[in-house]
Amino acid sequence: MTAITDERRMSPEDVADRWNLPVKAVREMLRRGELRGFKVREKWRIDPVEVARFEREGARR
């Protein structure tokens, strides 16, 4: 796992690669509200700060 160094928004694909999960699993986490994100023109975006929070709290399964 690498550190998040820039402030760009992450896609579900970015998070899935980072966590070694299927993209579908990340999208389900977003839909359920386990991982906070927002949509831009029907595409999910996740703030890197949210990814760091999720990792820090050990919520990743």
Q: Within a domain: residue 40?
A: yes
Q: Within a domain: residue 26?
A: yes
According to DSSP, the residues that pair with 43 across neighbouring strands are 40
Confidence at 60, pLDDT banded by 50, 70, 90: very low
The alpha carbon dihedral of 18, 20, 30, 27 has a sign of: positive
Full domain range(s) for residue 45: 12-56
Residue 30 near residue 44 (C-beta atoms within 8 A): yes
HSE toward the beta carbon, residue 38, CA cutoff 13 A: 5
Q: Within a domain: residue 52?
A: yes
Q: Domain count of the chain?
A: 1
Q: Within a domain: residue 43?
A: yes
pLDDT in tens, 3-59: 555 458 999 999 999 999 999 999 999 999 999 999 999 999 999 999 999 999 875
Q: Within a domain: residue 6?
A: no
